């Protein structure tokens, strides 16, 4: 599993918006400048987050983006599952893997990879956007 720039930038933007939640809707160009990310690339990421209710978008004068979900309810798992193709540690565990691996029934390493996938899932589900804003993520 390798988290792409898409996933990392999504998390950075969400932290940014959570830190500026009292500022209302924040224009894309402001967020892009603060995060040093291309507006065009960032817009494609934010569309996904708006579509799934993580963010709210408003067009026109006074428009921009703001959180659409409470930072305590938004987990890292939620965000990365929207922005990454997969979080599986090996390809044979990917939901899109077709046809199923012909070695799965006799694979002695499959339980290890499944266990690793469960650890990753549990870890990411245990970190909220609020934890990231507070600087307490990963310090448990």
- Residue 37: per-residue pLDDT: 93
Share of the chain above pLDDT 70, in %: 96
- Residue 98: per-residue pLDDT: 62
Spatial distance between the Cα atoms of 76 and 128, rounded to a whole number of angstroms: 6
Q: In the chain, what is the straight-line distance between the N-terminal and C-terminal CA atoms, in Å?
A: 22
Mean pLDDT of 17-31: 94
98 vs 8, residue with greater confidence? 8
What tens digit of pLDDT does each residue of 57-109 get? 999 888 899 999 999 999 999 999 999 988 888 888 876 656 777 787 888 98
Mean pLDDT of 16-25: 94
Spatial distance between the Cα atoms of 18 and 21, rounded to a whole number of angstroms: 5
């Amino acid at each position: 599993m390798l988290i792409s720039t898409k996933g990392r930038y999504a998390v950075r933007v969400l932290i940014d918006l959570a830190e500026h939640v009292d500022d209302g809707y924040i224009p894309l160009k402001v967020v892009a400048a603060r995060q040093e990310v291309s507006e065009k690339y960032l817009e494609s990421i934010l569309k996904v987050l708006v579509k799934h209710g993580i963010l709210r978008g408003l067009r026109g004068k006074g428009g921009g983006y703001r959180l659409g979900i409470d930072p305590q309810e938004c987990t890292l798992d939620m965000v990365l599952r929207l922005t990454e193709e997969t979080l599986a540690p090996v390809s044979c565990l990917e939901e899109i893997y077709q046809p199923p691996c012909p070695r799965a029934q006799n694979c002695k390493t499959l339980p290890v990879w499944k266990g690793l996938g469960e650890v990753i899932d549990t870890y990411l589900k245990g970190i909220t956007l609020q934890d990231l804003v507070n600087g307490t993520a990963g310090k448990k």
